[in-house]
Structure 1
Amino acid sequence: MLSQVEQSKTLSTLLVDDDRQFRTGIRTFLSLSQIQDRAINVIGEADHPALALSLTKEHTPDLILIDMELIEGDGLSLLQQLRDSNASSKTLVLSGHQEDYWIYQAMQLGANGYVFKGQVAQQLLDAIATVMQNQIYLPPEVATGFFRKFQKTQASLPSQLGQPCNLSERENDVLYWLVQGASNDEIAKQLYISVATVKVHLTNIFLKLQVTSRTQAIVVAIKMNLIQS
């Protein structure tokens, strides 16, 4: 058992995945890593929602890493049950599912972030650090899928005006391409402006939306319905 002082210096994590080999790999990877000078302590593993919920209630982990494919259920049902139980743990999806449906549903059910399994080595630690700072983690390739599904869903609803926002026409153009997952270079090419000008527009967009990152800007843009298809 870890002492109270030791616990304060660690990030308690629960692994929920039906693949034992994958869980072993993630456990090893996390054991060799730190987040903001905090060691990562895996306090348990589960392969089905009922066990995950039991371990969450028993240990109250800081973070739960969730696969979408589980035994006797799936990650979406687990996210729903965690939300219904008012669990305080942060939730980060690690999934091989890249379909828009899974991404959109997971975020709608309160996931704090979504990482494709093929990008775990490159993105997992950054994702964990981000969600533990009470921010949403969506790399561009995930955010794009979320937005595509969001657009389709909104198209089936009565037309609504976005919330008031004083973005200029050019800033709206930059924001549109940002949400599509475009890099600064790609935005510059699409709008026939310099990369330096793109950066200036992004700075203004961040200030007006009161965000500090590209991911946060995408999430706010979606929530405020600022982007029209």
Structure 2
Amino acid sequence: MKKPRVLMADDHSLILAGLRKLVEGECDVVGTVEDGRALVEEAQKLRPDLILLDISMPLLNGLEAARQLRTLVPESKLIFLTMHASPTYATEAFQAGACGYLLKRSAASELSLAIQSVLQGQHYLTPSFTKDVLQSVLKPSSGERGKAASTALTSRQREVLQLVAEGRGTKEIATILCVSVKTVEFHKSRIMQQLDIHTIADLTKYAITHGITGL
């Protein structure tokens, strides 16, 4: 039987090496990347059956990457493997297109179970959450869906905000996003205006608090 093809993304090379050893018995690891932008690029080239990804990654976080992947490679199943144990992150992950969500502290057997479940067309959420949380994450109410999905910023603004919070200059951000310096400056100005934030330090705090960057 042909092994499912998997692409893995995490900003720690040791974790990627460990994950490879865990899954290579049942999966064909076709690639590993260490940031969200590389993930989106490689996923389009490789068209894997399965993508294992973290939330906190440089250049583009896993949630934003998932939103793009849902459109660009809808056939690829996404499983988040992260340290974030908050139901808020799990809810947002599923709304971004995830099929599975488990924690890095989970046992190796749980990862195998998650992979099998997702490849069979099911959703998988770590049992580390309580039953009430499981239900609210997998079947959020209309109010919860609106709350989790609502954001004061557009996808592009969140991308710019993450790069600013990572300490990248305007020219570097423009190069990464393939836009002009003026466009980046416009987005930064709009972000600060919309959030009523006036310093880069406070922008960084906002980005960390709202899970846009994992600094």
Indicate whether the TM-score tops 0.5. yes
RMSD over equivalenced CA pairs, Å: 2.3
Work out which structure has the larger RCO, using CA pairs closer than 8 Å and 6 or more positions apart in sequence: 2
Distance 1:68-1:155 versus aligned 2 partners, 3 A rule:
closer
Of residues 89, 103, 109 in structure 1, which corresponds to 2:96?
109
CA distance in 2, matches of 1:59, 1:155: 32
Distance 1:20-1:138 versus aligned 2 partners, 3 A rule:
same
Structure 1: which 5+ residue stretches go unaligned? 1-7, 35-39, 158-229
Given the two structures, how large is their TM-score scaled by the length of structure 2? 0.61
What is the DSSP-based 3-state SS (H/G/I as helix, E as strand, rest coil) of the residue aligned with 1:124? helix
Query: Could you say which residue in structure 2 is the equivalent of 1:27?
Result: 20
Query: Could you say which residue in structure 2 is the equivalent of 1:74?
Result: 61
Distance 1:144-1:46 versus aligned 2 partners, 3 A rule:
farther
Distance 1:57-1:144 versus aligned 2 partners, 3 A rule:
same
Distance 1:102-1:13 versus aligned 2 partners, 3 A rule:
same
Of residues 75, 85, 89 in structure 2, which corresponds to 1:98?
85
Q: Is structure 2 residue 64 aligned with structure 1 residue 64?
A: no
What is the DSSP-based 3-state SS (H/G/I as helix, E as strand, rest coil) of the residue aligned with 2:78? strand
Query: Could you say which residue in structure 2 is the equivalent of 1:12?
Result: 5
Aligned residues: 144
Higher Cα Rg: structure 1 or 2? 1
Structure 2: which 5+ residue stretches go unaligned? 148-215
Look up the equivalent residue of 1:118 and give its one-letter code: R
> Do 1:103 and 1:145's aligned partners in 2 also have CA atoms closer than 8 Å?
no
CA distance in 1, matches of 2:3, 2:81: 21
* Structure 1 position 86, deviation (Å): 4.3
* Structure 1 position 140, deviation (Å): 2.8
Runs of 4+ residues over 3 Å off in structure 1: 142-157
* Structure 1 position 110, deviation (Å): 1.4
